[in-house]
Every structure is written in structure tokens, then in C-alpha cells.
Amino acid sequence: MNPILFVSLGPGEPELITVKGLKALQAADCIFCPETQTRDGRTLSRAAGIMQQLDIPNSSIRRFTLPMSKLREEALNVYDRVYAEIVLLYKENKNICIVAEGDAGFYSSVHYIFEKLQAGHIPVMHIAGIPAFIAAGALGGLHIASREERLTVIPGITTTEEIEKLVEEKSTVVIMKLSQCTDEVHRCIRLHPEYRYHYFENVGTPEEKYLNDNHRIEALRFPYFSLLIIRKDSF
């Protein structure tokens, strides 16, 4: 029987999906796709938008709504229901995909389903994709790391002190999920204007933004789809 495919869509620009990922979506009978619901009741799905631009038929896409909550239990309940649906379709020998923006194995919560399927002895396969910070580096014309330089990628649950420690150890720092540490980043900019800050927002979409001006970055409230690359020396 066919393995369940976890397809990485890339950071947002449809053409940044891999050929292998696109072929998997085109051959799928059913594609599970996350969406979120806004406070005014609208549903949003950047993943679905990417697939629509790739001409993947809506008839093969099954959306599931993830709660906009920091409580992990609510999201896990949704994933458990998706898992149950997948198991039934797998027994019918359907070609099944689960999609994720960026890379499905990099800060992607759908990996919970991947691990649950593995535990249930159902074959799975992860199709690699381009993570947002790699696309951001290309957008900014940055060489993120070279030769023996270190690169540290951290989530937004961080502090100015942690950033200082990493930068002083001569590591390029990538902060993902930047909206979780807006105040700490602003404090870091005030304390260390000598660092080089490269801010990215909505990479790979028509709304993408790149800033490397400290004052402009410090004035922002960071949205969910944003990240920061920091170094002590210039790129």
C-alpha cells in the first residue's frame, strides 16, 4: 500500500515547491490541509492558496481547522481526528497527502500526525521543502553562513540575554515565530545597535517585506509570519 506523504509546500511562493512535492499532490486522492478561523468567522489557509495556484483541484483538498490558541491540547484533538480519517482512507488504498508550509519536519505541528502514523505502523514519507529562513536569505541577498561559521535557529520564546550569548559566540541567529518575542527583540536592538538585523515578513507572498534598518524594525509589531536573522558583523 502507498505510504502517507507529508508534502512540504515551501515558504509561500508556489514555484518554490519541489518537483517531487508537486507530483505527489497531483497524484493524490485526498490532501489534508490546515486552515485557521479569524475572529470574524472567516477561514484562512495559506497552504490551500498555494495549492490553488498550482492548479490542484479543490475536490481533492480536505481542510481541517486549527484553533488559534496557545493551548496545545486543542490542536492535538484536531490532529487526532485527522489521523482517524487518514487511517480509514489508507485502508481503502487511497493516495493521501498532508501538507505543511515551509518544510513539514521543521517547526511544523503536523509532524505529530507523522509520529502517530509511525507508531501505528502505517508507512509515511516526508518530502522535503524550503524553510522560510532559507527563502528569506535569498530575498535579502544574504549568505547566511559560510565556512566554519555557526548557525543557530531558535523559536520566538527567547530573551535578549539568549540572543546576546549566541551572537557573542559568533553564531548567526535565526529567530522563527517572531511575534512571540517582539519586546525582547526591540530591547536587543536598543542595547546592541552594532548587531546586523535582517527582518522578513510574509516571505514568498505578494506581501513579503525585508528591512535591515534598526529604527524601522524597532517600530514594528511583528506578525505571525515573520522572522529575524541576526549577526554581529555585516553580510
The predicted model scores a pTM of 0.90
Kind and range of the H or E run holding 188: helix 182-191
Q: What is the DSSP letter of 3?
A: P
Residue 157 to residues 106, 183, 214, Cα–Cα distance (Å): 16, 11, 21
Residue 146's pLDDT is: 82
pLDDT under 70: residue ranges of the chain: 38, 69-70, 234-235
Residue 232's pLDDT is: 85
Cell 505578494 -> residue: 206
Residue 119 to residues 88, 113, 114, 138, Cα–Cα distance (Å): 16, 10, 9, 37
Residue 171's pLDDT is: 93
Residue 97's pLDDT is: 98
pLDDT, one tens digit per residue, over 189-200 is 999 999 999 999
Distance between CA atoms of residues 122 and 161, nearest Å: 43
Residue 130's pLDDT is: 95
